[in-house]
């Protein structure tokens, strides 16, 4: 037996390991299982190249709890280590690796992605003593290494005869939760459910596949089937062959649906479509992303994209790796090329990671373009569920904005869907104003803006229905990149002002009459909120129309949905225009009414009707309006 000091110069590594991110102690299991997985893959490789003359068998990793002895054991059937190798890999390499990791971690509070790389010594986060019993595939005796968390270790021979390594953790008194079966099952499910090597955790009973229960009939003809014979088998907790590791050509739609369910067992809504990622140059990355059906009360923190490294779960915080707008997607990405022992801010500046993010964006755009091209009708039915992601992408990534030209849709209030180019083509003739600007009309709510939509449709104009929360920003961007194209919400002004043509409508009122009328109306409406504007319009248009100036409304909306607005504009009070149609009969009547009382009543009634069509009439005003209306029809 030999005894020694792992490294005399650093006595305090064990307390450091112990302190390491208290809440993340659980990663020790992932680290040890990863070592067992590596040891199995290495042996497989040595067998394949003829360096190891042994049988791999159905090598698995076994996790077991011994509550009486307070141990947790991780046992693999990998290549094992000789005593010399334990000395070299555990006492030297693993130790200096852990040291280096902790050194890096010290200046990097909680920033390290997935806390990968602490390695074997992470065992001391939960164990007061660790034993390694290992037998190499080489013809050498087994070795037994013990360390109780002090820099001292012992190394002696052991009589283990089967190949592989057992790591026995004597769980510390403050970590006994890791002796609970439910806790270990939770960790195995979280980190290792797609591990490359099968992981056994206990046994389970299943129906014996070689047994067929017989059915007998009694004298009354009643059938009885004997119970199925049960056998006990290994409880393998993982799927070593998840869908993303396979070739897209080998998978059917159903396989993707099943994988989605496997990944998110608590998610009952199916995904809309998937994107299979598969690249090996200039970086390695595989994965499957799913477009979920978005609903307004969806919990964004649930069922997020999961990042794996060689089928081992790292994190479901993919910030910096997946572009922001795609973080609403679901699924898995797996890459050995993402540096995980660095901070997130470093990650965002990393060239390889930037390329990965760019690649994902491109793949998503290509997929959307092909879905649109191959089945436009189906794409249109899905548009409502995916538009927020696409619009957000168009706003945040210029490359995506360019690509989205071919598939981003602009639906009308009548459920026709145009691409931007189609929209321009369709509206060019009718909706170009006298200054050569093409005006795209839109509504945000079909019900609330009904009368404005009707007014536009009467003129033969198309009205889009743009109702997603970030549409204000998108419109701004579209206007910025298309000179001479302007967007206007249907209720931003009366329709003849939204798309101004050369033909001026002659006013039935003289200038003097207008000057008399204006103050009368101003006196009857709250002037701090309404600006009265007299316009000669079509005599069939409404007498009073309330409009919300486009610029003001857009700025307020953009500020409400985050950024982009002008300073403080979001806090401005609501401002409206009251457009008075001087060619309407009623307006003429208001002017010519002799009694001030009747005049006021007419104005109030017309004003309330205008408010009603903007959904602005509430409370006491609404009660008064109803009362006045009954009096008028008496």
Ligand X SMILES: Nc1ncnc2c1ncn2[C@@H]1O[C@H](COP(=O)(O)OP(=O)(O)OP(=O)(O)O)[C@@H](O)[C@H]1O
Residues 389-448 binding ligand X (CB under 6 A) are none
Among 27, 33, 39, 485, binds ligand X (CB under 6 A): 39
CB of 4 to ligand X, least distance (A): 17
Q: Which residues contact 563 (CB under 8 A, 6 or more apart)?
A: none
Residue 296 Cβ vs ligand X, minimum distance, rounded to whole Å: 42
Length of the chain, in residues: 634
Interface pick for ligand X out of 94, 179, 288, 558 (rule CB under 6 A)? 94
Q: How far is the CB of 316 from ligand X (least distance, A)?
A: 20
Q: In this complex, which beta carbon is closest to ligand X, that of residue 342 or of residue 440?
A: 342
Q: Between residues 165 and 192, which has the closer beta carbon with respect to ligand X?
A: 165
Task: Looking at residues 134 to 163 of the shown chain, list those that interact with ligand X (rule: CB under 6 A).
Answer: none
Site for ligand X in 65-84 (CB under 6 A): 76, 78-79, 81
Name which of 94 and 404 has its Cβ closer to ligand X: 94
From residue 102 to residue 141, what is the string marking binding to ligand X with x (rule CB under 6 A)?
---------------x-xx---------------------
Q: Per CB under 6 A, does 165 bind ligand X?
A: yes
Is 97 or 248 the residue whose CB approaches ligand X more closely?
97
Angle at 70 between CA 64 and CA 72, to 5 degrees: 30
Q: Contact at 8 Å (CB) between 63 and 188?
A: yes
CA dihedral 202, 207, 209, 213 (to 10 degrees): 160
- To ligand X, the closest distance from the beta carbon of 201 in angstroms equals 17
Identify which of residues 94 and 532 has a Cβ nearer to ligand X in the complex. Answer: 94
Instruction: Give me the residue whose beta carbon is nearest to ligand X.
Output: 119
**DSSP assignment letter at 4:** E
3-state secondary structure 13-74: HHHHHHHCCHHHCCHHHHHHHHHHHHHHHHHHHHHHCCCCCCCCCCCCEEEEEECCCCEEEE
CB closer to ligand X, 82 vs 431: 82
- In this structure, the number of other CB atoms found within 10 A of the CB of residue 573 comes to 6
For ligand X, give the closer residue by CB, 130 or 524. Answer: 130
Residue 41 Cβ vs ligand X, minimum distance, rounded to whole Å:
11
54 near ligand X, judged by CB under 6 A: no
Using a CB cutoff of 8 Å and minimum separation of 24, what contacts does 396-399 make? 396/323, 396/324, 396/325, 397/323, 397/325, 397/361, 399/358, 399/361, 399/362, 399/365
The whole-angstrom separation of Cα 591 and Cα 511 is 13
Q: How many residues bind ligand X (CB under 6 A)?
A: 18
Q: Does 93 bind ligand X (CB under 6 A)?
A: yes
Which residues fall within 8 angstroms of residue 506, CB to CB, at 6 or more apart?
536
Q: How many angstroms separate the CA atoms of 362 and 369, rounded?
A: 10
Are 83 and 160 contacting, i.e. CB atoms less than 8 angstroms apart? no
CB 142 to ligand X: min, Å: 12
**Is 97 part of any known ligand binding site?**
yes
Q: How far is the CB of 137 from ligand X (least distance, A)?
A: 10
CB of residue 165 to ligand X, shortest distance in Å:
4
Q: Is 169 in the site for ligand X (CB under 6 A)?
A: no
Structure tokens given for 329: 């997607």
Nearer to ligand X, 31 or 535 (CB): 31
Q: Can you tell me the distance from the alpha carbon of 423 to that of 503, in angstroms, rounded to the nearest whole number?
A: 25
Which residue's CB is nearer to ligand X, number 24 or number 38?
38
Q: How far is the CB of 341 from ligand X (least distance, A)?
A: 8
Which of residues 17, 20, 36, 606 is near ligand X by CB under 6 A?
36
Q: Is 394 annotated as a binding residue?
A: no
Distances, alpha carbon 460 to alpha carbons 161, 303, 444, 453, 463, in Å:
88, 46, 19, 11, 10
- Rounded to an integer, what distance in angstroms lies between the CA atom of residue 278 and that of residue 334? 10
Does the annotation flag 185 for ligand binding?
A: no
SS3 (DSSP) at 420: helix
Please report how close the Cβ of residue 118 comes to ligand X at its closest, in angstroms.
7
First to last CA, the chain: 112
Residues from 180 through 199 that contact ligand X (CB under 6 A)? none
User: Does 166 interact with ligand X (rule: CB under 6 A)?
Assistant: no
| Position among 6, 90, 517, 603 found at the interface with ligand X (CB under 6 A) | 90
Stretch that binds ligand X, among 31-39, 189-197, 405-413, 579-587 (CB under 6 A): 31-39
The least distance separating ligand X from the CB of residue 39, rounded to whole angstroms, comes to 3
**CB closer to ligand X, 164 vs 331:** 164
CB of 95 to ligand X, least distance (A): 8
Looking at the Cβ atoms of 93 and 298, the one nearer to ligand X is: 93
- C-beta closer to ligand X: residue 97 or 588: 97
Contact present, 99 and 119 (Cβ < 8 Å): no
CB 413 within 8 Å of CB 456: no
Q: For residues 313 and 129, what is the distance between their CA atoms, to the nearest angstrom? A: 27
Q: Residue 333 is encoded by which pair of tokens?
A: 């990405």
Residue with smaller CB distance to ligand X, 97 or 202: 97
Which residues, in sequence order, are CB contacts of 106 under 8 Å at separation 6+? none
CA dihedral angle for residue 489, residue 494, residue 500, residue 501, rounded to 10 degrees: 130
With binding defined as CB under 6 A, does residue 35 bind ligand X? yes
Phi first, then psi, for residue 410 (nearest 5°) are -125, 100
114 annotated as a binding-site residue:
no
Q: Which of 89, 283, 346, 417 binds ligand X (CB under 6 A)?
A: 89
Q: Residue 252, annotated ligand binder?
A: no
52 makes contact with ligand X (CB under 6 A) = no
Report whether 165 belongs to an annotated binding site.
yes
Q: Whole-angstrom Cα distance, residue 408 to residue 468? A: 13
User: Which residues belong to the annotated binding site for ATP?
Assistant: 31, 35, 76, 81, 96-97, 165, 344
User: Which residues belong to the annotated binding site?
Assistant: 31, 35, 76, 81, 96-97, 165, 344
Q: Which residues bind ligand X (CB under 6 A)?
A: 31, 35-36, 38-39, 76, 78-79, 81, 89-90, 93-94, 97, 117, 119-120, 165
């Amino acid at each position: 037996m030999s005894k020694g000091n792992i490294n005399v110069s650093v006595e305090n590594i064990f307390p450091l390991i112990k302190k390491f991110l208290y809440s993340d102690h659980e990663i020790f299991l992932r680290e040890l299982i990863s070592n067992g997985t590596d040891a199995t893959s290495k042996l497989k490789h040595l067998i394949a190249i003829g360096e190891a003359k042994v049988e791999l068998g159905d090598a698995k990793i076994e996790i077991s709890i011994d509550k009486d002895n307070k141990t947790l054991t991780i046992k693999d059937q990998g290549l094992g280590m000789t005593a010399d190798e334990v000395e070299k890999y555990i006492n030297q390499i693993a130790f200096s690796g852990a040291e280096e990791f902790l050194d890096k971690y010290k200046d990097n509070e909680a920033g390290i992605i997935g806390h990968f790389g602490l390695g074997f010594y992470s065992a001391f986060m939960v164990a007061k003593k660790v034993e390694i019993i290992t037998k190499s595939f080489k013809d050498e005796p087994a070795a037994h290494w013990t360390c109780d968390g002090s820099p001292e270790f012992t190394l002696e021979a052991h009589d283990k005869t089967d190949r592989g390594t057992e790591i026995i953790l004597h769980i510390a008194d403050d970590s006994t939760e890791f002796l609970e079966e439910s806790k270990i099952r939770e960790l195995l499910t979280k980190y290792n459910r797609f591990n490359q090597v099968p992981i056994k955790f206990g046994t389970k009973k299943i129906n014996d596949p070689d047994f067929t229960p017989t059915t007998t009939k009694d004298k009354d003809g009643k059938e009885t089937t004997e119970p199925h014979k049960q056998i006990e088998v290994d409880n393998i907790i993982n799927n070593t062959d998840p869908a993303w590791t396979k070739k897209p050509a080998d998978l059917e739609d159903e396989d993707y649906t099943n994988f989605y369910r496997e990944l998110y067992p608590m998610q009952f809504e199916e995904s809309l479509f998937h994107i299979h990622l598969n690249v090996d140059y200039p970086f390695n990355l595989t994965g499957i992303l799913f477009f979920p059906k978005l609903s307004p009360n969806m919990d964004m923190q649930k069922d997020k994209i999961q990042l794996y490294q060689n089928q081992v779960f790292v994190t479901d915080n993919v910030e910096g790796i997946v572009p922001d707008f795609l973080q609403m997607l679901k699924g898995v990405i797996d890459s050995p090329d993402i540096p995980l022992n660095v901070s997130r801010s470093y990650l965002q500046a990393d060239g390889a990671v930037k390329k990965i993010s760019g690649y994902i964006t491109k793949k998503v755009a290509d997929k959307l373009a092909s879905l649109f091209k191959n089945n436009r009708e189906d794409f249109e039915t899905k548009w409502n569920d995916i538009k927020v992601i696409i619009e957000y992408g168009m706003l945040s990534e210029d490359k995506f904005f360019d690509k989205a030209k071919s598939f981003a849709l602009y639906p009308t209030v009548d459920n026709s869907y145009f691409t931007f180019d189609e929209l321009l083509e369709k509206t060019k003739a009718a909706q170009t104003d006298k200054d050569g600007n093409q005006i795209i009309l839109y509504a945000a709510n079909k019900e609330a803006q009904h009368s404005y939509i009707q007014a536009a449709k009467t003129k033969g104009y198309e009205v889009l229905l743009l109702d997603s929360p970030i549409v204000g920003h998108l419109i701004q961007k579209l206007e910025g990149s298309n000179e001479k194209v302007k967007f206007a919400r249907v209720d931003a002004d009366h329709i003849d002002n939204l798309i101004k043509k050369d033909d001026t409508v002659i006013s039935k009122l003289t200038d003097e009459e207008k000057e008399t009328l204006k103050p009368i109306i101003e006196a009857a409406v709250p002037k701090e909120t309404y600006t009265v504007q007299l316009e000669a319009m079509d005599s069939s248009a409404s007498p009073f129309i309330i409009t919300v100036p486009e610029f003001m409304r857009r700025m307020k909306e953009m500020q409400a949905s985050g950024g982009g607005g002008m300073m403080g504009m979001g806090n401005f009070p609501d401002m409206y225009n009251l457009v008075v149609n001087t060619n309407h009969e009623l307006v003429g009547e208001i002017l010519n009414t002799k009694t001030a009382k009747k005049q006021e009543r007419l104005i109030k009634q017309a004003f309330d009707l205008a408010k009603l069509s903007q959904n602005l009439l509430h409370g006491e005003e609404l009660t008064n309006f109803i009362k006045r209306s009954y009096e008028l029809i008496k």
